[in-house]
Amino acid sequence: MLKYTEYKYHLAALFTVTVWGATFVSTKVLIANSLTPAEIFLLRFAMAYVCILPFARGRMWAAGLRDELLLAAAGLSGGSLYFLTENVALEYAPASNVSLIVCTAPVWTAVLLSLLYGSERMSRRQIAGSALAFAGMVLRLSPRGDLLALSAALLWMVYSLAIKRIGGRYPAIFITRKVFFYGLVTILPVFAFRPFDVSWEVLSRPVVWGNLLFLGVVASMLCYVLWNAAMHRLGAVRTTNYIYFNPLVTIVAAALCIGERITLAALAGAALILYGMWRAEKG
């Protein structure tokens, strides 16, 4: 049984992945409006960073160089590189497919952390549940964009490990601000090869600034704080397992908003994902 005090963290994780499931569709819409993957990330994280600054005053740097490097690694793996690979994958594959591949992150995270930390070792029930949810993801694979989407999943595993190492020593909002900062810093070299070129005409479109606000304020600023807090309280394996809900939201949102077709394989995959999640968390 879940402890009463843990329910709010489970709800925070569930809310976060629900929002993140919809972000695949938002990003797809922005790409259709001629924004590049790097431009989408820069605008998204810049907006999130500005919004979080009033709430994250005080400490500017971590207590030591090791912690600061861990924060930089989190910003690189869970920020710039993660979203760059994910957004580029969305140029080549349907949003629902990319979401399903990215949701393999819990499997890689659980396996790695079970090897590194005794406290995060997977139980038989978690292994069985994760395997079923992973099978649900496999039902929807397609070749286009798979490698990039899988790279994003592996990068999220690295991010989870970095947050696991540092999460208990600093407030979630401080960690989130540093992730945004290092994400922005590490994306800048990309623009040396393809300069930022978003016109005001494009930014003034309601569909563009509306989706950017959703990605920057809700999906980034708010959800990263909630996610980092849940990671600290529930552990990396239990929290990251909620990512399996991403594809369920993405499949429905993509069908309603951009006309992607819901297939029998998608429904079967969704059913396995839900059952696998329930089995992994039961008891």
pLDDT tens for each residue of 135-147: 766 665 566 677 7
Q: Which pTM value belongs to this model?
A: 0.82
How far apart CA 78 and CA 20 sit, in angstroms, is: 13
| Cβ atoms of residues 173 and 55 within 8 Å | yes
Backbone angles phi, psi at 198, to 5 degrees: -100, 120
Angle at 252 between CA 246 and CA 253, to 5 degrees: 85
How far apart CA 165 and CA 232 sit, in angstroms, is: 10
189-230 pLDDT, tens digit per residue, is: 999 999 999 999 999 999 999 999 999 999 999 999 999 889
How far apart CA 107 and CA 129 sit, in angstroms, is: 10
How far apart CA 35 and CA 264 sit, in angstroms, is: 32
- What's the gap between Cα 251 and its chain centre? 16
Question: Dihedral (C-alpha) 216, 11, 256, 278: value to the nearest 10 degrees?
Answer: 130
